[in-house]
Amino acid sequence: MTFHRDRPDDRDTYLDQWVKAALDAELAQMDAAFDFPAGLQDVYARAGLAGPVAVESSSDLTPGAGGHSAIQAVVDHIEMLDALLGVVTTSEKDTSPQQGVMYLRMARQFLLQLRIGLTARRLPQARAIQLVDTIAHNLTETDRILRAQQGMSLQDAVHARIGELRDVGGDLNHQAQRLREKVWRLFTDVDEPASRSPIPTS
Amino acid sequence: MTSQSGVRVGGVDFEAFYRANRSALVRFVRLAGATEEEANDAAQTAFARLLQVSYHIREPMGWLCRTALNDFRRSNPRVPSRRRKVIERPIPPWEIPEPAASVPSAADVAALGEQTRGVLTELALLPGKQRQVMVAHYDGLSHEQIAELLGMGTDAVRQNLSRARKTLRKRHVMLDEDAS
């Protein structure tokens, strides 16, 4: 489907994307600033229940022996992806339609939030995966808009800008998928991966 | 470090549910006129009550919103009751939360906040009811749930949503034109 700003339905879809993205960003910031273990202890105390048995959890990124390097690997991936997207968002207008650029800018904001949250070790797993999925969605939307309006894919736009300067190593969707896998592993490989069950996003 | 209690909410581990929904609940109560501290307190109490209930809750998030809102209103005599009008005080831009303190650099914070705060500022300038309906809608609550929580009919929910969208759309087009 092609985006037409003059069609009411498309305008609403577009607006919804913007508002939802901002509200999700606000939640991510609130999550990153909140001490969840202390909050949970407080909830149990208010309920008059004994505090739950504390265990090392896949939902937290607590500093560990291999934790820092694993986080750094994800941060490196985020920075690589962000640099590639930055190439397109700073290109001339004729190769970057405004709607596509807006999706890209949102994707970059989410990448930044992800990096901040992971670096601060305060981002819950559910929110981290949600951020990665939103980034992937925004890249898909950008690709769709570019194809419809410019007859070129997002990958083509990146290559047009950087040429052979750099081997991207797979298309951007693939890179987003790899990022998701890395983030997922970050939470599930802390220890005893077999005992970890995914935390669904709600 | 976190904990595992075995308590499940809607098929999800309680701790995971808390992590996924706590911030949205705090924001929802804040939009009803609560301070950050009051909203946190009401949210914590609501989650504690959720731990105590023995019956099945079909829509846990809707239940939490209702419980937290009622708790906030009960403990704050200055707050209007459910059937009276919602506090119409727009949230001034300077009260919109800043990015978290633990960040890599000041430049990152600035980049993170710019667009997000722009949209949040526009939302904050909406009349109170429209803002509440809008945020509850994007947080995934149904029109019926929003109507019950805010003490209005579903038609009023749709109308507030439509008006909010119209205002934001106008403002958004203007921002687009400024940027191009």
Judge whether A16 and B140 are in contact, CB under 8 Å. no
Distance CA A32, CA B101 (A): 9
Q: Could you please state the CATH topology (level 3) that the domain comprising B104-180 is classified under.
A: Arc Repressor Mutant, subunit A (1.10.10)
User: Tens-of-pLDDT digits for all 202 residues of chain A?
Assistant: 343 444 455 567 778 877 887 888 788 778 877 888 889 889 988 888 876 554 444 445 543 444 667 888 888 888 888 888 877 766 554 445 566 677 887 888 888 878 877 877 767 777 788 888 888 888 888 888 888 888 888 888 877 776 654 555 567 888 888 888 888 888 876 543 333 333 444 4
| CB within 8 Å: B21 and A199 | no
Give one DSSP letter per residue of A125-162, joined into a string.
HHHHHHHHHHHHHHHHHHHHHHHHHHS--HHHHHHHHH
Rounded alpha-carbon distances, angstroms, from residue B102 to A63, A173, B10, B162: 15, 29, 33, 38
Handedness of CA A98, A99, A105, A109 (dihedral sign): positive
Amino acid (one-letter) located at A186? L
Q: Which residues of B touch A201 (CB under 8 A)?
A: 20
Measured between CB atoms, does A201 come within 8 Å of chain B? Answer: yes
Provide the 3-class DSSP secondary structure of residue A47. Answer: coil
Measured between CB atoms, does A43 come within 8 Å of chain B? Answer: yes
Nearest to B15 among A31, A40, A122 (CB): A40
Distance from CA of B81 to the nearest CA of A (A): 25
Is pLDDT above 90 for B155? yes
Residues β-bridged to residue B9: B12
* Interface ipTM: 0.75
**pLDDT tens readout for residues B4-57:** 456 666 667 888 888 888 999 999 998 888 888 899 999 999 999 998 887 778
Distance from CA of B151 to the nearest CA of A (A): 23
- pLDDT confidence of residue A5: 47
Amino acid (one-letter) located at B147? A
Domain boundaries, chain B: 1-80, 104-180
| Angle in degrees, CA B146, B148, B150, rounded to 5 | 65
| CB within 8 Å: B4 and A53 | yes
Q: Which residues of B touch A86 (CB under 8 A)?
A: none
Other Cβ atoms less than 10 A from the Cβ of A154: the count is 25
Residue with tokens 């607590």: A62
Judge whether B5 and B15 are in contact, CB under 8 Å. yes
Measured between CB atoms, does B20 come within 8 Å of chain A? Answer: yes
Output the six-digit token pair for A8.
């009411």
Name the burial class of residue A1, with classes exposed (0-12), middle (13-18) and buried (19+) by CB atoms within 10 angstroms of its CB: exposed
Distance CA B66, CA B145 (A): 9
Measured between CB atoms, does B86 come within 8 Å of chain A? Answer: no
Q: Which residues of A touch B165 (CB under 8 A)?
A: 12, 15
Is pLDDT above 90 for B67? yes
Amino acid (one-letter) located at A11? R
Is pLDDT above 70 for B88? no
A:B CB pairs within 8 Å: 178
